[in-house]
Amino acid sequence: MDETTSASVTAWLLAGGEGRRMQGQDKGLVDYQGRPLAAWVLSCLAPQCDTLRISANRNLARYEQLRQEANKACARPSDAAPPVGVYPDDPDLEPRSGPLAGIITAMRHTDTEWLMVAPCDMPHLPHDLVARLMQQAAQTNADIVIPCTESSTPEPRFHWVCGLIRKRVCPDTLHQFVNGERKVGHWVRSQSWSSVTFPDTSAFANMNSLETLRGRD
């Protein structure tokens, strides 16, 4: 990705879940092939965007450490000066209300026009993910662009919690959230959105349970 594109996007790792399928463990910190799951995702995102942030509701200091390590690996100076790079869900949002709360918090704390959000359980994201989503946004003028992969049905599999979002949709997103919307897919479909098909389905594999991790480790 060129420098102009990378500077216009803030990358956000979404790690604010309760870890219900991980027996209550903080999913982003669960070990996968010798590293925390979150570290793998940060390593994918950091080279693609100039600014790296994390949405998390516990273990904030550990996530900040992982964020700084990802920045250092890109030979980029730390951007840890206030405001810090890890944000819990904003206090006016209903607690434990899913990834949409993290996305709203991310939009509120993003200075760039675009943000790229990705869950902490997708450790093999493509290295051209942001560039391809940005290209689609430029071609379609969509406010949200979601990656998708082939599925066993005629409709592709959309990876709703991994996507490029234009910050200007924040007010409508908050309105929907206040009125009870919690499903990210429903929210995306209510916006001006588009998608990009990626050929490698394994790039978006979710390590969202201990059983899945044991099978892939």
Least confident of 63-77, 106-120, 190-204: 63-77
What does the pLDDT average to over 197-204? Answer: 95
CA angle (48 as vertex; 62, 174 as ends), nearest 5: 70
pTM of the model: 0.91
How many Cβ atoms sit within 10 Å of the Cβ of residue 155? 8
Beta-bridged to residue 144, according to DSSP, are: 165, 193
pLDDT at 80: 46
- Taking only the tens place, the pLDDT of each residue in 112-138 is 999 999 999 999 999 999 999 999 999
What does the pLDDT average to over 135-156? Answer: 96
**Domain 3-216: CATH architecture, name and number where available:** Alpha-Beta Complex (3.90)
Residue spans per domain, the chain: 3-216
The H helix count followed by the E strand count for the chain is: 8, 10
pLDDT of 217 higher than 60: no
**Would you state the structure tokens that stand for residue 98, as one six-digit string?**
């899913």
- Taking only the tens place, the pLDDT of each residue in 183-200 is 999 999 999 999 999 999
How many Cβ atoms sit within 10 Å of the Cβ of residue 95? 9
